[in-house]
Structure 1
Amino acid sequence: MKKPYNLPFLPITFDPETELLFYKKVVEATAELERLKQKLHYSIVNESFIQLITLHESVQSTRIEGTQVTFSEMLEDNVEEEPDWEKIEVRNYQRALKMGVDAIQTGYPITERLIRDMHIELMKDARGSTSSSGAYRKIQNFIGPTKNIKDASYIPPEPQLMDDYMTNLERYINGHPYQAKEAETLHSLIKVAVIHAQFESIHPFLDGNGRLGRILIVLYLLQSELIDSPFFFLSEELEKERFKYYAMLDAVRASGHKEPDWKSWIVFFLDATIRMAKHQYRKLDEAEKLFNEGLSKIEQPATKKVWGALFSSPVATVHQLQKTTDLAAPTIRKSLRQLVELNMIFGNDRKRNRKFYQYDLIRIMSD
């Protein structure tokens, strides 16, 4: 009979050679993040880019858990919400993420209380064990291909240990509240990789652990001031390499190894960070070019305003654009007709609540 894993408490240490390997990658990753941050600061589309990249993260993180909903579908969902459980999970992820980001930006640290509150938001009206939302599990869970524990690829620590493990994780994130802060030996990018893997290994809730663990990544990057706004997310890259992602997390738990393989996981995490920072830089660059090319084709101020609004809502109705532009409906309709004639947007053929699509931007954000 397989037994729950005897998960070591944090911190963990690395030999000098391994740390040197990490830091070579950390230098590149931090440079790419800084490059993206600076470009965003001076970008004319920075606010809309953050809005869209946050929605994209919410879609990608839930897709890792097996949902099939797409970024385009969620943009349409912003116009008229549907009671579809996959879309509910994405909306919940957005709200839980916003709750966490707001807390960190207000000056609150990542705490067990915040994690439990985000979990409640994550599980509202969703599939899974919503009755225990916000509460650590009281029963043994496991990760595996079937519903039988004997087939489990990983059995997390026993439920009575959840408080101990989560207290240890909170102290690792923030330092001990009653002791002088020790000099941090690990860079924040290495530490966040450890935090994410440890949270997933603890698996403190009956459901939603993967999504919540990925939210913790951006919250810790904000808390450690590696980023100054929620402009960087990793789920798109992790979703592309989902099976490797899971395999690397299993290796951390000594699955198929004599000892926990933290080295492979952290290298994987840092490489994913480098790729994702470069990818998001390209997305932002293409979005800026599209915006500026569009402006150069438009003369009327109202149409320019509508064009700008479509960068926050690439799928929109006249009614929705009224809210974001404060323009009158006839003015918006006239601007939209002009943009359609210029082939800059596409309008469907509905008579009522006609939707308009900024497909070039949707493609840039989806690529």
Structure 2
Amino acid sequence: MERGEYDPTYIWQRPDWPVWRYDLRRLAGPLAEVSQLQGRLLGRLSDVGMVLRSEASLVTLTDDVVKTSAIEGEQLDVASVRSSVARRLGVDVGALAPVDRHVEGVVAMVLDATLDAHATLTAERLQAWHTALFPTGYSNLTRLRVGAWRDNATGSMQVVSGPMHRHKVHYEAPPAACLDVEMTRFLEWANADTGEPALIKAALAHLWFVTLHPFDDGNGRMARAVGDLFLTRADDSPQRFYSLSAEIQRRRSAYYDVLERTQKGSLEVDEWLTWFLATLRDAIAAAQVSLDGVLAKARFWRRWASTPMNPRQVKLVNRLLDGFEGKLTSGKWAAIAKSSTDTALRDINELIALGMLRRAEGGGRSTGYELAPVEPDQVAGTESVDRRTKPMAHPTRPIDR
């Protein structure tokens, strides 16, 4: 399918491709709002010290890796992701969970995009990301052309949904024969000082890459990593404290819808940019809440740092600090700790006697337990975090091809 054979269906078929057009005056308000929120978040983080910044960055990067895969319907093990990120960042989180090659590959891509954001974006670098994403050379049972631009051996690259006999084509990417020229043009733009505001360039880079769809699979995750690279440049900080992928995952349907409309529209991309900036705004707001959790957890363990606890108690307290869903009963305690109910009750009563735990209100048929709040005046003024701390990173589709 070559351009010019019929009326353009997709933006890459238009004669003025890829001259992006947008109204910067309309976007000035959202840009200013996001920039202000970025400044507030980074300013707040500048006051908490290096240890807690590392903890907050660990939470964010773990969430980013988990959620960019969840957008494509792939659920990664959170503990494995966290262990991989922590090891690469040099953050001590105690015992590390086993990590498989696939998790390591996603983590390697995300961290390379953010920790080395100012390095030149090259074809070799993108192809290395792709190789890391698919260490076996397969996606499920499909053999991939790994670490190289796709070819048309199996037909044109389409994003589809629905059953095979009546699937719906949402988008068709440029022919493989165009990719050398198209990717060269994209990378020249990516590495040049092209004059766009930094956040606009991040949004355009994300859109441009996913429109080219240069690989057999993994294009969605890689587009988000490319976007994160430019967001990191915009922040001018190698540490990540908010996750755009996590916010995209929360509004996944809208993400695919706005991409489809944009890729079937003109090169006027105000709608995409407006959506991107609104999603980024909410991601930064969510990061403030996540930071509250990191600080509350650190405050809690500073308060109780010298209190002897057994491993079962440490494990369950951390589960509560991480946002335990539902009511924690003695039966659930026993199940999670792999202990008897009598042992669970003894653990619980010890913590109640210390004032660390309390009975929750509205008991019902079984008693629930919750952490007692820690007041600021109960905490010594030190930044150190007890290594029992285990930052929160919970997993919350469809086509990544």
TM-score interval, smaller chain: 0.7 to 0.9
1:113 paired to 2:98: no
State TM-score, norm by structure 2. Answer: 0.67
1:49 paired to 2:56: yes
Instruction: Answer yes or no: is the 8 Å Cα contact 2:20–2:269 preserved in 1.
Output: no
What is the alpha-carbon distance in structure 1 between the residues aligned to residue 143 and residue 236 of structure 2? 34
What is the alpha-carbon distance in structure 2 between the residues aligned to residue 174 and residue 269 of structure 1? 21
What is the alpha-carbon distance in structure 2 between the residues aligned to residue 141 and residue 149 of structure 1? 17
Letter in 2 for 1:33: Q
Letter in 1 for 2:296: K
* Aligned equivalent of 2:32, options 15, 21, 27: 27
Instruction: Answer yes or no: is the 8 Å Cα contact 2:114–2:238 preserved in 1.
Output: no
Structure 2: gaps (5+ residues): 85-94, 323-345, 358-368, 370-386, 397-401
| Aligned positions of 1:2-21 closer than 5 A | 5=10, 7=12, 9-14=17-22, 18-21=23-26
What is the alpha-carbon distance in structure 2 between the residues aligned to residue 201 and residue 149 of structure 1? 24
RMSD (Å) for aligned C-alpha atoms = 3.7
State TM-score, norm by structure 1. Answer: 0.72
1:155 paired to 2:167: no
In structure 2, what is the equivalent of residue 169 of structure 1?
186
CA deviations on 1:108-167 (whole Å, 9 max, x unpaired) are 222222111111111113625554111000112100114579731111110000111111
In structure 1, what is the equivalent of residue 275 of structure 2?
268
In structure 1, what is the equivalent of residue 160 of structure 2?
144
Letter in 2 for 1:218: D
Instruction: Answer yes or no: is the 8 Å Cα contact 1:54–1:230 preserved in 2.
Output: yes
Instruction: Answer yes or no: is the 8 Å Cα contact 1:234–1:276 preserved in 2.
Output: yes
Instruction: Answer yes or no: is the 8 Å Cα contact 2:244–2:283 preserved in 1.
Output: yes
In structure 1, what is the equivalent of residue 298 of structure 2?
291
Structure 1: gaps (5+ residues): 176-180, 316-336, 347-355
In structure 1, what is the equivalent of residue 199 of structure 2?
189
* Aligned equivalent of 1:101, options 111, 114, 126: 114
What is the alpha-carbon distance in structure 1 between the residues aligned to residue 293 and residue 31 of structure 2? 26
Count of residue correspondences: 309
Structure label with greater radius of gyration: 2
Instruction: Answer yes or no: is the 8 Å Cα contact 2:21–2:267 preserved in 1.
Output: no
CA deviations on 1:18-44 (whole Å, 9 max, x unpaired) are 311211101010111121122223324
| TM superposition shift of 1:102 | 4.1
| TM superposition shift of 1:63 | 0.5
What is the alpha-carbon distance in structure 1 between the residues aligned to residue 82 and residue 115 of structure 2? 23
Structure 1 pair 226–108 and aligned structure 2 pair: CA distance change class (3 A): closer
What is the alpha-carbon distance in structure 2 between the residues aligned to residue 42 and residue 90 of structure 1? 33
Structure 1 pair 265–296 and aligned structure 2 pair: CA distance change class (3 A): same
| TM superposition shift of 1:197 | 0.8
CA deviations on 1:86-126 (whole Å, 9 max, x unpaired) are xx54432111122333433xx52222221111111111136
| TM superposition shift of 1:240 | 0.8
| TM superposition shift of 1:76 | 8.3
In structure 2, what is the equivalent of residue 64 of structure 1?
71
What is the alpha-carbon distance in structure 2 between the residues aligned to residue 341 and residue 135 of structure 1? 59
In structure 2, what is the equivalent of residue 133 of structure 1?
146
In structure 1, what is the equivalent of residue 382 of structure 2?
none
What is the alpha-carbon distance in structure 1 between the residues aligned to residue 223 and residue 75 of structure 2? 20
Structure 1 pair 206–131 and aligned structure 2 pair: CA distance change class (3 A): closer
Letter in 2 for 1:151: K
What is the alpha-carbon distance in structure 1 between the residues aligned to residue 172 and residue 186 of structure 2? 19
SS at match of 1:152: strand
Structure 1 pair 149–6 and aligned structure 2 pair: CA distance change class (3 A): farther
In structure 1, what is the equivalent of residue 381 of structure 2?
none
| Aligned positions of 1:189-268 closer than 5 A | 189-254=199-264, 257=265, 259-260=266-267, 262-268=269-275
SS at match of 1:153: strand
CA deviations on 1:335-354 (whole Å, 9 max, x unpaired) are xx9999548799xxxxxxxx
| Aligned positions of 1:348-359 closer than 5 A | none
Instruction: Answer yes or no: is the 8 Å Cα contact 1:62–1:89 preserved in 2.
Output: no
Instruction: Answer yes or no: is the 8 Å Cα contact 1:192–1:220 preserved in 2.
Output: yes
CA deviations on 1:282-316 (whole Å, 9 max, x unpaired) are 2112210221133123336999xxx9xx99xx99x
What is the alpha-carbon distance in structure 2 between the residues aligned to residue 155 and residue 75 of structure 1? 36
| TM superposition shift of 1:268 | 0.6
Structure 1 pair 91–298 and aligned structure 2 pair: CA distance change class (3 A): same
Identity of aligned residues (%): 19
| TM superposition shift of 1:64 | 0.5
Instruction: Answer yes or no: is the 8 Å Cα contact 1:196–1:216 preserved in 2.
Output: yes
- Which one scores higher on RCO, CA 8 angstroms, separation ≥ 6? 2
Range with bigger deviation, 157-166 or 95-104: 95-104
Instruction: Answer yes or no: is the 8 Å Cα contact 1:10–1:172 preserved in 2.
Output: no
Instruction: Answer yes or no: is the 8 Å Cα contact 1:40–1:46 preserved in 2.
Output: yes
What is the alpha-carbon distance in structure 2 between the residues aligned to residue 143 and residue 202 of structure 1? 12
CA deviations on 1:307-340 (whole Å, 9 max, x unpaired) are 9xx99xx99xxxxxxxxxxxxxxxxxxxxx9999
Name the structure with the higher helix share. Answer: 1
SS at match of 1:171: helix
Structure 1 pair 35–246 and aligned structure 2 pair: CA distance change class (3 A): same
What is the alpha-carbon distance in structure 1 between the residues aligned to residue 251 and residue 388 of structure 2? 30
